[in-house]
């Protein structure tokens, strides 16, 4: 339904390269064509989420990949297509178990988590506000 939802989560299908520490065998199941196939799907899903979100609502885009073709490039392309949508700084919302803001998540406004820094899978998160 167009413009019906306050909040939409897009946990986009991705290469899963950020989860290699838990599933190292996955590297042998991936090829460069995966990025070419997943990129358009990720953009389409994010665009559909924006269209389903009411003005003032938010869309959270997330992948378990650190690859720019699945993270920043997807968000940047979709933001160009939707001038009324703005990226909000998601970094202050990311907290550790003690409630402290996670360090070293990148320059913003989105965040990239890393296994060797944060003890998580490699994950990307962007928060978009629909105008």
Judge whether 96 and 102 are in contact, CB under 8 Å. yes
d(CA 42, CA 67): 13
This prediction has a pTM of 0.91
> Does position 19 have pLDDT exceeding 80, yes or no?
no
For 36, residues 6+ apart whose C-beta sits below 8 A from its C-beta are none
d(CA 93, CA 83): 24
* Other CB atoms within 10 Å distance of the CB of residue 111: 24
Average pLDDT over residues 20-48: 84
The per-residue pLDDT for range 37-66, each reduced to its tens digit, is: 999 999 999 999 999 999 999 999 999 999
Q: Residue 23 belongs to a domain with what CATH number?
A: 3.40.50.150
Q: Which residues are catalytic?
A: 64
Judge whether 59 and 49 are in contact, CB under 8 Å. yes
Domain ranges, residue 82: 5-130
Q: For the chain, what is the domain count?
A: 1
């Amino acid at each position: 339904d167009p413009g019906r939802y306050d909040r939409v989560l897009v946990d986009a299908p991705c290469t899963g390269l950020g989860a290699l520490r838990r599933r190292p065998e996955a590297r042998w199941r991936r090829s460069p064509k995966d990025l070419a196939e997943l990129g358009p799907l990720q953009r389409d899903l994010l665009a559909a989420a924006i269209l389903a979100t009411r003005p003032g609502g938010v869309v959270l885009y997330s992948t378990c990949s650190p690859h720019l073709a699945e993270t920043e490039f997807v968000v940047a392309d979709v933001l160009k297509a939707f001038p009324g949508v703005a990226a909000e700084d998601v970094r202050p919302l990311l907290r550790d178990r003690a409630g402290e803001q996670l360090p070293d998540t990148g320059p913003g406004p989105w965040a990239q988590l890393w296994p060797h820094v944060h003890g998580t899978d490699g994950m990307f998160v962007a928060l978009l506000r629909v105008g």
